[in-house]
Structure 1
């Protein structure tokens, strides 16, 4: 199978959801009285998940969907439900129909909104077609106007096969960080990856093929790592950089924006080492799309033990610990340094 139709669906669904998240940011986050108010990201999570699931269900009604949210809280909170529904309705009206020949689905009322969100309760697994979605990956980045991502990946028999990432705040030109922002990346396994600028509507802008990232000297590379120390051990990661002779300052982003950054060569290594004592288990929706896109431009993506990510275990990567992604030519050096730092060698 070529999976071109699945890729097109993923790109359009993610782009439409990015239209909504941008609307939420400008209507709710920017006007929020309290910087501690997390309700705008709650609204955006529910609304974006509903839009994406409506798209998947319209185009591929037999596929399973693993989403991050369920509607239990919305069903109890009429006010919040009304806010979410109004934003979904506004986005649907603004977006209109895609010019490409693929249905993106509609939502007619609040009841269908909640029912649509709950179609993301699939348990995943090792057989069949299952979509993994994260409507807003990087909630703190979203609230601060920093990096976040809208993520959708198709797993076929437990293997990441199609992926799309919308990263609304990532500079389109990494050499011009204050310039236009917003990129959309996508990939099909075995067919490479592409990047394009995010469009403000449902017209996909021209794409360009991402070239394989092929560094020859690990000391000339840079790390990309998370902003939050609770999710990633910055101290150990700094030790690994030092052991590899890396002196460049790390790029710190929230979300799968890190995968987008290394896929286009802004950095060449992504580490997510669990903090000491952490029992955190990675979720499949946090890595399905991004890891595939990076693999398609020559990265090796594994856990800290060098084991490939196993997306067939259900809703989590419970058989894996941490994340290591490095461009192919330097992966062996990086994983050796990781194992040495963690004492597993």
Structure 2
């Protein structure tokens, strides 16, 4: 039987074949979900293809996906976001990816993030480290060694989400304490933390499928992943990735 990380690579290949062919398509079909977020025909096609492949290769595993539902419970669950960054995808911005994670008894043990328009993947398995690079040519990655917030490069998300879901003041405390800030958003900012390009990434609201793969990749790269309360979980509704050295200081600033 193929191991779980190799299977995640296969699933990413299936997803990339669909998303790459639909990216910037003139006939891309776009609908709005009840929460007003967009969903494209590519999102649905990817999730259906991955579910079909998992039914073949891991028929006993559960699946929780953004578009078709499911829950993370005891045992093994594959957590899937067919296209993270759908707004970028439908506007022709290349920063989007398919996110896949295997969760065992509540903890992510395999993570795969594939961004074909960027020509890059990030992957990890518990105890095996994290890697990134073009498909088929990954190299080990690790977080940065920056030790002071005043020297840190932080990425966050849209200010309006901080106002609505957490606190404008805590957002300002964090970015004001850091050397530089940007808003790369979604999966990419956490991947940049894992590979040491930036030092912190914070989001006031996330879904489990947004960050299950992120958690294991950041941790295996030597970083720390928690929610904004400091719990090491992808199911806390928020996210903070760091190079570990800066984590406690960032959490202190983000307290409401």
Q: TM-score range by the shorter chain?
A: 0.7 to 0.9
With structure 1 as the length reference, what TM-score do the two structures score?
0.66
Q: Secondary structure at the match of 2:127?
A: coil
- Whether 2:119 is the aligned partner of 1:182: answer yes
- Whether 2:179 is the aligned partner of 1:247: answer yes
- Give 2:203's aligned residue: 272
Q: Kindly indicate whether the alpha-carbon contact (under 8 Å) linking 1:154 and 1:162 is maintained by their aligned counterparts in 2.
A: yes
- Whether 2:152 is the aligned partner of 1:215: answer no
Q: Separation in 2 of the partners of 1:133 and 1:193? A: 19
Q: Separation in 2 of the partners of 1:224 and 1:18? A: 26
Query: How far has the Cα of 1:230 moved from its partner?
Result: 4.2
Which stretches in structure 2 are left out of the alignment for 5+ residues?
Answer: 32-37
Which consecutive aligned stretches of 4+ in structure 1 deviate over 4 angstroms post-superposition?
none
Q: Kindly indicate whether the alpha-carbon contact (under 8 Å) linking 1:256 and 1:287 is maintained by their aligned counterparts in 2.
A: yes
Query: How far has the Cα of 1:331 moved from its partner?
Result: 1.1
Q: Kindly indicate whether the alpha-carbon contact (under 8 Å) linking 1:225 and 1:232 is maintained by their aligned counterparts in 2.
A: no
**Which structure has greater strand proportion?**
2
Query: How far has the Cα of 1:46 moved from its partner?
Result: 0.7
RMSD: 2.3
- Whether 2:96 is the aligned partner of 1:143: answer no
With structure 2 as the length reference, what TM-score do the two structures score?
0.87
- Whether 2:129 is the aligned partner of 1:131: answer no
Structure-to-structure mapping, 1:100-139, within 5 angstroms? 121-125=69-73, 127-139=74-86
Q: Kindly indicate whether the alpha-carbon contact (under 8 Å) linking 1:212 and 1:297 is maintained by their aligned counterparts in 2.
A: yes
Identify if the C-alpha distance between structure 1 residues 290 and 4 changes in structure 2 by more than 3 Å, giving closer, same or farther.
farther
Query: How far has the Cα of 1:212 moved from its partner?
Result: 3.7
Larger radius of gyration: 1
Which stretches in structure 1 are left out of the alignment for 5+ residues?
Answer: 71-120, 170-180, 199-204, 275-281, 312-316
Q: Separation in 2 of the partners of 1:163 and 1:238? A: 31
